[in-house]
Amino acid sequence: MNKQTISDIDVSGKKVFVRVDFNTPLSSKDPQADITVTDDTRIRAALPTLNYLLDHGAALILASHLGRPKTADDVQFAMKPVARKLEEVIGRPVQYIPAVMNDKVKQAAADLRPGDILLLENTRFHPGEKKNDPQLAADFAALADVYVDDAFGSAHRPDASVDGAARAMRAKGGPAVAGFLMNAEISALSAAVENPPRPYVAIMGGAKISDKIKLIENLLDKADKILIGGGMANTFLKAQGHNMGRSLVEEDALPEAKRLLGLAADRLILPVDVVTATEVSAGAPSEVEMVWALSPDKMALDIGPATLERFNAELQGAQLVVWNGPMGVFEVEQFAHGTNQLAQMLAEMVDHGAQVIIGGGDSAAAVRAAGLTDKMTHVSTGGGASLELLEGKELPGVAVLDGK
Ligand code: ADP
Ligand code: MG
């Protein structure tokens, strides 16, 4: 990566503002309940950066958004459970202040000693965050001597804590650099975008094509083949003239699906069979049907065994695989088979020297649920950010950091 990282600068005795991605799932939406963090993957992913900074004599001011709060203080999204979880995984005290910016925050930051950790309130509680308000950005920068962005998952959003704070730090003469997670994400994903080893096979799934038309187009440009499963395959199959019964089909996206098929029908590989049911629920009777003979009252909810075999054949010899989007409704065990089998196949390919990169929030969750995260070359922690990078876009949160 052509950006400076924390290992390029001196942080000893410095106060470091770190934009982290602690946007973690929570156990409850009820503000009265004892809310806990149910998956600490993103907190753990920040540890290399946080521990490096602490070990090198820095004091930390941490900021993150959490969920999508509707009002300025939607307490169900307060950072308190995150502070507790961070204390547990980092094994040090964490001072949490239930405010994004006020005199208490400024005083607490001024009082920090090397090794101390201060966690601010959910940045989205402040109306200036989403507006990239220059005053809030300057206030963030004023808390510290150094700005670090380790929030890859937020790098596609030019918010005050992501974009403005980095600019404000530079304006006052301090460095604005990437953390280790940010660096690892950018390096792994841009290798696939810029200089892919071949053969390069992309795999796309998930619910909708409409979210991912640009991504499919960019991948058609870069990859040798694209295997398509999940709900988005239904729209392509319908565009080819198949009757998809009651499956999720995006009627509005049919013209786009036809256009993409017209660009490269021979390189877009679609399912030949699917697992169908009349209901998306555990225990609903399901069967395997060929895509050209789907029952009119059924929904396609997973890819079938013949499709898995076809995909396996297409993957043979691939040197790079990029996968985004589950092959079925993986949240329901009965329809998770295609996704799990594919994850298993890809893990074996890594054992044989292929590079396998997973992007997308649900895809990463599916790989994690299958217990295969550590088997893959790279599983991105950033949902939307990883997709935008794979689309070939420059991320504002990366562009703003100091170059080498
Ligand atoms: P990612 O977060 O990895 O980018 P998406 O958000 O695009 O993935 O898609 C994930 C969603 O797609 C899951 O909630 C899953 O249930 C849904 N999905 C996958 N296949 C189907 C299908 N055949 N019918 C309906 N929904 C599907
Ligand atoms: Mg998703």
* Binding site membership of 385 for ligand 1 (Cβ less than 6 Å): no
Taking CA atoms only, the protein residue closest to ligand 1 atom 16 is 329
Q: Is pLDDT above 90 for 33? A: no
What pLDDT shows up at residue 185?
93
Q: Which two tokens stand for residue 19?
A: 């934009």
In sequence order, what are the beta bridge partners of 19?
A: 63, 149
pLDDT at 85: 98
The single-letter DSSP state of residue 326 is -
The whole-angstrom separation of Cα 304 and Cα 306 is: 6
Q: CA–CA separation, 94 vs 47, rounded Å?
A: 14
Contacts of 320 (CB under 8 A, 6+ apart): 192, 196, 197, 198, 199, 200, 201, 354, 355, 356, 357
Please give the sequence-ordered ranges of beta strands (E in DSSP) within 209-296, or none if there are none: 225-228, 268-269, 273-277, 286-290
**Cα of 207 to ligand 1 centre, how many Å?**
4
- The CB of 280 under 6 Å from ligand 1? The reply is no
Q: Which of 67, 115, 384, 392 is catalytic?
A: 384
Instruction: Say if residue 72's pLDDT is above 80.
Output: no
What gap in Å lies between CA 206 and CA 387, rounded to an integer? 13
* Residues 6+ positions from 32 with CB-CB distance below 8 Å: none
More confident residue, 139 or 212: 139
Contacts of 22 (CB under 8 A, 6+ apart): 42, 43, 46, 62, 64, 66, 79, 82, 86
For the segment 301-314, what is each residue's pLDDT rounded down to a tens digit?
Answer: 999 999 999 999 99
In which residue are the tokens 């918010």 written? Answer: 159
Q: Looking at the predicted structure, is the pLDDT value of residue 1 above 80? A: no
Tokens (6 digits) for 338: 């295609």
Return the pLDDT at 399: 96
Which is catalytic among the residues 14, 42, 225, 238?
A: 42
Question: Which ligand is nearest to the Cα of residue 324, counting in written order?
Answer: 1
pLDDT at 254 over 80: yes
CB contact burial 308-342 (16+ within 10 A = b; e otherwise): bebbeebbeebebbbbbbbbbbbebebbbbbbbbb
Ligand 1 atom nearest to 302, measured from its CA: 23
Tokens of 387: 């997709």
Tokens 């509707």 correspond to what residue?
70
Distance between CA atoms of 292 and 155, rounded to whole angstroms? 42
pLDDT band at residue 190 under the 50/70/90 scheme = confident
Distance 369 CA to ligand 2 centre (A): 15
Mean pLDDT to the nearest integer, 266-283: 96
Catalytic residue selected from 328, 361, 382, 383:
361
State the Cα–Cα distance between residues 195 and 197, nearest whole angstrom. Answer: 7
What is the pLDDT, as a whole number, of residue 375? 97
| Cα dihedral: 137, 138, 144, 146 (round 10) | 70
Mean pLDDT of 12-30: 95
Asked if 215 and 256 count as a contact pair (C-beta separation under 8 A), the reply is no
Element (H or E) spanning 102, and its range? none
- Which pLDDT score is estimated for 29? 87
Transcribe 71-97 into DSSP letters.
STT-GGG-SHHHHHHHHHHHTS--EE-
Do residues 21 and 152 lie in contact, with contact meaning Cβ atoms separated by under 8 Å?
A: yes
d(CA 315, CA 338): 15
Model-wide pTM > 0.85:
yes
What pLDDT score does 107 carry?
98
Size of the chain, expressed as the number of residues it contains: 404
CA–centroid distance for 310 within its chain: 28
Give the H/E segment covering residue 98.
none
Q: Which of 170, 242, 236 is nearest to 205 (CA)?
A: 236
Cβ(304) to ligand 1 under 6 A? no
Is 259 an active-site residue?
Answer: no
For the Cβ of 331 lying below 6 angstroms from any atom of ligand 1, the answer is yes
Query: Which of 329, 330, 335, 381 gets mutated to test ligand 1 (max ligand atoms within 8 A of its CB)?
Result: 329
* The pLDDT of residue 46: 97
CB atoms within 10 A of CB 110: 10
Structure-derived torsion over alpha carbons of residues 63, 1, 193, 204, reported in degrees to the nearest 10: -30
pLDDT of residue 70: 81
Q: What is the pLDDT of residues 221-253, one digit of tens each?
A: 889 999 999 999 999 999 999 999 999 999 999
What is the structure's pLDDT at 31?
Answer: 81
Question: In this structure, what token pair is assigned to residue 392?
Answer: 């070939």
Q: Answer yes or no: are the C-beta atoms of 331 and 279 closer than 8 Å.
A: no
Q: How far apart are the first and last CA of the chain?
A: 9
331 CA → ligand 1 middle, Å: 9
* Beta-bridge partners for 93: none
Q: What are 346-384's pLDDT values in tens digits?
A: 999 999 999 999 998 899 999 999 999 999 999 998 888
Mean pLDDT over all residues of the chain? Answer: 95
What number does the ligand 1 atom closest to the CA of 364 have?
3
pLDDT at 360: 87
Closest residue by Cα to residue 385 from 376, 396, 377, 375: 396
Asked if 361 is an active-site residue, the reply is yes
* Whether the CB of 248 sits within 6 Å of ligand 1: yes
Segment 39-46 mean pLDDT: 94
Rounded Cα distance, 362 and 324, in Å: 9
Residue 263 has pLDDT above 80, yes or no: yes
Average pLDDT over residues 293-300: 97
Give the model's pLDDT for residue 265: 87
Longest CA pairwise span in the chain (Å): 70
Q: Is 26 helix (H, G, I), strand (E, B) or coil?
A: strand
